[in-house]
């Protein structure tokens, strides 16, 4: 039997990039998947792709920074699959900008999506999990959520540190009631979020985008980038019964770039 056979999962920000990779692994492992994304067309396209390879999935437009939208996703998931066994809080944005140029609106938007979004989605589903006495939540943090020395990303780093802290607090609060909460820290994954960052770096240094990409890979001991599915494999494990005694952990999945 596949690891997640018979389970249902909500995966936010899964219209592309890391989220889509997580969704592909979950579908392969037998989970019924609710794919959500701010881009509804992307969410539905991902769900269609999963279904075309034998998976069970629906796609839902979703703004994680909006409480009503989060409640609607949970309602849609329960309508489609009866229960919600797993929540993967993956949706995120980033922005490369000097701290002195971050206005209040930009700061608030970063926190609203990357940290408040985790709070809102967890709040939307947690009573359902607690009433059932079982559930698993996995949050996508970042290696800069543990080691924040990344210039020009201060609001992103602050949000990801918040995700790590929230993960630990929720794990402690819900452990005795059957709900496990963990996080993963991806490293260098070439998703659409990376492209504007690579282009900006290339322009500043007068190098090609591909050279900028190779420079980004240089600090990784394994010497190669990771695929979105690599993150999905780690999260699938944390969501499975094999990890039944793991909670409050933040697992590095970054080729050795950060070891702690």
> Largest Cα–Cα distance in the chain?
57
pLDDT at position 1, please?
55
> Where in the sequence is the domain holding 115, given as residue range(s)?
8-189+227-253
3-class SS at 205? helix
Domain of 78, CATH number, reads 3.40.50.720
| Res. 70 pLDDT band, cuts 50 70 90 | very high
Residues 128 and 17 in one domain: yes
Q: Indicate whether 199 and 111 sit together in one domain.
A: no
Q: What pLDDT is stored for residue 203 in this prediction?
A: 86
> Residue 259: its pLDDT value, please?
81
Q: Are residues 203 and 121 in the same domain?
A: no
**Domain count across the chain:** 2
On whether both 239 and 123 belong to a single domain, the answer is yes
pLDDT of amino acid 212: 82
Stretch 143-159: mean pLDDT: 92
User: Is residue 211 located within the same domain as residue 231?
Assistant: no
Residue 194 has pLDDT above 80, yes or no: no
Looking at residue 250, what is its pLDDT? 97
196 in the same domain as 105: no
Residues 25, 73: one domain?
yes
d(CA 91, CA 75): 19
Q: Which residue has the higher pLDDT, 130 or 214?
A: 130
67 inside domain: yes
pTM of the model: 0.93
- The answer to whether residues 154 and 73 belong to one domain is yes
Contacts of range 196-205, beta carbons closer than 8 Å, 24 or more positions apart? 196/96, 197/94, 197/96, 200/96
Q: Which residues have a catalytic role annotated?
A: 156
Give the N- to C-terminal CA distance of the chain in Å, as an integer.
Answer: 33
């Amino acid at each position: 039997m596949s690891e997640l056979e018979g389970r249902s999962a909500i995966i936010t920000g899964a219209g592309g990039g890391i989220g889509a990779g997580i969704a592909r692994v979950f579908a392969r492992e037998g989970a019924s998947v609710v794919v959500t994304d701010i881009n509804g067309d992307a969410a539905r396209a991902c769900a269609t792709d999963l279904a075309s390879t034998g998976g069970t999935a629906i796609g839902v437009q979703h703004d994680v920074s909006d409480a009503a939208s989060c409640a609607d996703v949970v309602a849609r998931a329960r309508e489609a699959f009866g229960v919600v066994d797993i929540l993967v809080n993956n949706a995120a944005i980033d922005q490369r900008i000097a701290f002195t140029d971050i206005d209040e609106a930009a700061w608030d938007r970063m926190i609203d999506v990357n940290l408040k979004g985790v709070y809102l989605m967890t709040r939307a589903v947690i009573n359902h999990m607690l009433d059932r006495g079982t559930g698993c939540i996995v949050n996508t943090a970042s290696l800069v959520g543990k080691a924040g020395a990344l210039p020009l990303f201060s609001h992103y780093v602050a949000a990801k540190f918040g995700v790590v802290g929230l993960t630990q607090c929720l794990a402690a609060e819900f452990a005795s009631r059957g709900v496990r909460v963990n996080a993963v820290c991806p490293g260098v994954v070439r998703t659409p979020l990376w492209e504007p960052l690579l282009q900006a770096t290339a322009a500043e240094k007068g190098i090609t985008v591909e050279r900028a990409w190779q420079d980004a890979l240089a600090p990784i001991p394994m010497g190669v980038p990771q695929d979105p599915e690599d993150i999905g494999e780690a999260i699938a494990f944390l969501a499975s019964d094999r990890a039944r005694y793991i909670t409050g952990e933040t697992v590095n999945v970054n080729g050795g770039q950060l070891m702690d």
